[in-house]
Every structure is written in structure tokens, then in C-alpha cells.
Structure 1
Amino acid sequence: MKLSKQIAEKITKEMMNIIPYNINLMNEKGIIFASGDKKRIGTLHKGAAKVLVSQKIYEVFIEEESMKPGVNEPIIINDEIIGVIGITGHPDEVRPFSKLVGATAKLLIEQESLNKKTQNDRMRCENFYNELLLRKTYYDDEFLQQGKFYGIDLTQKCQAIVIKGYLNTKAFKVFIERFRHFSTINPNKMVLFITEQNNVSEVVNALIKRMEIEKIAIGDKEELAAVSLEQADNAWEVGNKIKPSKKVYYYDELKLFIHLTSFERNNLDSSLSGLVNSGNNQELFHTLQVFIEENGDIHNTTQKLNIHRNTLNYRLEKITDLTGKNPKVFLDLFELFCSIIWYK
């Protein structure tokens, strides 16, 4: 363990607010790291040098060899001297404060060490889950052992659940900790990893109830988590186009339509540009989405859009005029449906 300049400055500042004496804090080489006398920072403290040699408290009663009167005490943690604390003043006056400052310094240094360990552990954990997100090669023994350390069994198939929404609230951060195995992509997107059998439905049911979550997408169970994640992302992208009102998208349910997106598109989606640029707030495009989602049912579509039947018929005619495809004709509707999937 080493004494950092930052913690040395913190100890000196805080303790000099309490006691009316100058404090010097030296590192393991006797160099002054922090001091109430700023001019001495970076210089060798001769009293500290003597402490480091003798490994005992060294007191100076009268000024000698450029050393001012004071008490110099080693900072010992785990049987190792990591620095020296010096309090300037007559030893009989400052000696009681030396013990107080020494004990406080040890507490602060140990706390800093614990904080660093916690931070390093958190970073290692984040790095592991980030690698799990991206890794598309089979897991070696070392990576499997890392997973075991974090409580996830990567010898089992893994299922990725992507959630999107307002996920940066304090309440949601507390809630999501219960699932243990997750990675934050950004404040609005997270990925959960599930390896336990028959546990996905329970997780999804819990997630659905959270107001912060707008959309959930679930990949299949796969040997590699990154493959399931890619499936979940594809399910979200396609599902949001053809079923925009739904909250949960399963890759397994959308697999056919996702595969359609990999076909050569040419200019088949260009027919939708007229819809997007026509009307207020892309109302024709949205009308077509709802019409498809409601399986072409006129009544349900008007109810969902909160418009009159005649208004819907007018919009469908307008879509026909702009695209050359009639939504009421099955094959034309299928082509429009594919165009929505392919539309960027």
C-alpha cells in the first residue's frame, strides 16, 4: 500500500481545521507530500527520514539541522511504514494531537484503499460484462471461470434481454440490482443476461411493471450471449416498425420478418418516402403501421387512431395514390409491410 498525494492533502487539510498546529505528511521516502506550509512541499523532511530508519517516533525539542520542534510519527499499516506524520510544535504540547492525527490518517488511508478496491472490482466486473456483450468466439476456461466468479454459469445457454427507456433513475437502479447479471449500454439502454432455466418469463413480467421501461426485446437461448443480444436488437428494430404499440418483442416471434430485412432491398422501400413526407406528423405512415398491426380490421384501426371510418378510408386511398399499392389488397399490403421493415 502507498500513500497517495491526494489522501495526504485531504488528511492535512481536515486535521488542520481541528488542531492549531502545522501538519506535515511525508511519503515512504520522507518527501513532504502535503503541509500547511506550502513552501515545504516536495522537499525532504529530515525528521521523517530518521523515523523511516529507526521505525520509531522521533521528537525534536529544539530546532536543529533545519528541523523544527515537533513530533514525527510513522504511519504503519499491515506492518509496513507507508509514510510519516509530523506536527510542528513543542513535543509536550503536540504529542496528544499526534495520536489523534495518526489514528485519523490510518482510517482515511484504509478507507481510500477499500474504495479503490471496490472501484477496481466494479471496473473488472463491467469489463467482464462488456466482453460478454461483444464476444462471438467460444468461451475459454479462463472466461468461464470469470463468469463463475460473478455468479453466471456460461456453460448454460444464455438469453439476452434488451430494455430501453428512462433507466437512469435512482429507484430503477435499485430495482435492477436484483437481477445481478446486466450491462449498461447508455442511460437509456441496458442488457440483462439470463442463464437459469424457465426464468425469462418471471424477469419479463417484473420488467413490464416498471414505468421507466418503454420497450423490451428478448433474444433466443444461445451458446454465446452476444448472438442472443444481436437477435434481441433485431427484434426491437423490426418489432418497433411493424408493432409499434407493443412493449415486448421476442426474436422467436419475429424471426421470419427479421430474415426479410437481410434480403436485397433495391429501391423497394422508396415508395414509403411519400408517406413519411406527407401529412402532419407522418400520419399516413403511422396509419399504415396501425392498419397492419390491427390485421386490416377497419373498426379496430379507427378505434386505435381515434378517427372516423371515412377519415381512415380517405387515408388508405391517399396511401394508394402515393405508393401505387392498395392496403386493402393482400399482396399490395404485404409489399407495403415489407417496405416498412426495410425503411430506414
Structure 2
Amino acid sequence: MKSIVLLLVEELNEFSKKEKKLRQRTNFLNELLNAKGYYSEALTTSAIEDYGVNLLRANRCILSTKQEVLRKYFPLHEIFEWHGRYITFIDAELEVAPEESEMLIISDEKMNVGQLIRDVENTFKYLYFFQQPANQPIFTSDHYFARLFDFPIEIDRQLIRKVTDIYGEYYDTLICFANNSTNVKAGAEQLHIHRNTLNYRIERIHELTQKDPRIWSDLWTLLYHFAYCFVQNFE
């Protein structure tokens, strides 16, 4: 019994150490996000001494859904867990074979590390929202509109209530319609439905939101608010 108790205490201590380390890493990333590129001497020192991140140089942020993928490519770099995904920072020349099939989201080089985190995270959300394939190295610079996930434009509160009500039923329809450049024939084929069914769904979105997906400005307004709903359900 004594041995069992000692073993349990040891396991609890190890768990507590891991939890403390995880909190410290999360707090470090939150400090980077809140610093907006202006780093205190204490944060700069902690970054280099504790995690090997040099805040005085331009860095790239790399995101993957799999920790082992980052470890394979960047074995000497600190890897952080971030909202169920994994990120690391490098300030050296990037060497990733373009033919590799693993998903890596790679930021530009910037001094503002907090912005790097937002860039890779927003690109990840953008790809999943628009149902784009993510099985290869992807550069944030190729996805400018991923910045919409910062939601710089104020959300229309009346519209978001309407979109929230229909999000679950019409999300796939709207995304497919947009991805096929509003081509009903191509969209219907991708959804495996009759084109009249797709037309009916588009008309229902119009009726329920007073925004017509067949008009480009209304479509982007809808996509913006659908993206907002997507993020609310994403985490």
C-alpha cells in the first residue's frame, strides 16, 4: 500500500510539473500576442534563455496539427502547443521540401512574433472554413484574405443572428457555391445534388438573410458572417 501511495504521489508531482510547464508556455505565447512587437527586456531574455527564440531578429512561425511533423523538420527548436495545434519559431533559412505531403503552415519573416502566430492561425482557419486541401507546405503570403479572421470590420448583429440560425444547414452549400465561383452546375455536381436543389438552397439563404449569394458583395458579406460563426464553433 505504501508503494502504491508513493507511486501515485510521484505521478501526481510529474503531472503537476507538466501542467505548470504548459501554463508557462501558454503565458509566454500570450505575452507575445499582447506585446504587439514591443518586447520588454525581461521577455526578450526569457524568450532566448527558456525557449531559444530570439526576439531581436526576424522570425518565421510554423504551424502543424501534428507535433511529430514539426519535430521531424525542426528537431532543435522548441515546440509549443497552441489551441490543439503546434507551432515553432525559426530565425534561420527555411529548408522544407515542397514535395512533402505533411501540412505545414509557414509565415513570412517578421519582427512581430505575435503577428506571426495570428498569421498562421488565421490561415489554418481560412483553409478549413473554405474546405481547402491542407496536405502540403502552405505559405501565409499566398492567402491574403486569411486576415478576415481578425474580423476588422464590425459584425452586423442583426445579420449574425440570422446566419447563426441557418449556419448548420447552409454552411456547406454556401462554401461550395463560393468555391465554384457561383457556378450552379459545378456546385451541384460537387454537392451531388440536382441544380434545382442548389438553386432552392441559394434562394432560401437569400430569403432568410436578405442577402443574395448570387451578388458578389452580398456573397462576401455572408461569407464574412459565416466565418464569424465558424470561429465560434471552431475551438
TM-score by length of 2: 0.66
1:262 aligns with 2:152: yes
- Change in CA separation of 1:270 and 1:239 when aligned onto 2, cut-off 3 Å: farther
Unaligned runs of 5+ in 1: 1-5, 10-119, 277-281
- Change in CA separation of 1:152 and 1:204 when aligned onto 2, cut-off 3 Å: farther
Give, in angstroms, the shift of residue 149 of structure 1.
Answer: 8.8
Q: Which residue of 1 aligns with 2:96?
A: 203
1:160 aligns with 2:53: no
Residue of structure 2 aligned with 1:226, choices 105, 114, 125: 114
Residue of structure 1 aligned with 2:31, choices 134, 149, 162: 134
Q: Which residue of 1 aligns with 2:212?
A: 326
Q: Which residue of 1 aligns with 2:90?
A: 194
Give, in angstroms, the shift of residue 240 of structure 1.
Answer: 3.0
The structure, 1 or 2, with the larger RCO (C-alpha pairs under 8 Å, 6+ apart) is 2
Give, in angstroms, the shift of residue 289 of structure 1.
Answer: 1.2
Unaligned runs of 5+ in 2: 7-16
Q: Which residue identity is paired with 1:228? A: L
Q: Give 1:114-129 correspondences, 5 Å limit.
A: none
Q: Which has the larger helix fraction?
A: 2
- Change in CA separation of 1:204 and 1:290 when aligned onto 2, cut-off 3 Å: farther
Q: Is the 8 A contact 1:320 1:326 kept in 2?
A: yes
In the aligned structure 2, how far is the partner of 1:185 from the partner of 1:336? 32
Q: How many residues align?
A: 205
TM-score by length of 1: 0.48
Q: Which residue identity is paired with 1:158? A: N
In the aligned structure 2, how far is the partner of 1:338 from the partner of 1:129? 29
**1:203 alignment partner, SS class:** coil
Q: Is the 8 A contact 2:206 2:212 kept in 1?
A: yes
Aligned residues with identical type, % of pairs: 20
What are the Cα deviations for residues 46-79 of structure 1, in whole angstroms up to 9, with x where unaligned? xxxxxxxxxxxxxxxxxxxxxxxxxxxxxxxxxx
- Change in CA separation of 1:146 and 1:185 when aligned onto 2, cut-off 3 Å: closer
Give, in angstroms, the shift of residue 294 of structure 1.
Answer: 2.4
Q: Which residue identity is paired with 1:257? A: L
Q: Which residue identity is paired with 1:250? A: T
1:184 aligns with 2:54: no
Q: Which has the larger strand fraction?
A: 1
Q: Which residue identity is paired with 2:71? A: I
In the aligned structure 2, how far is the partner of 1:235 from the partner of 1:153? 24
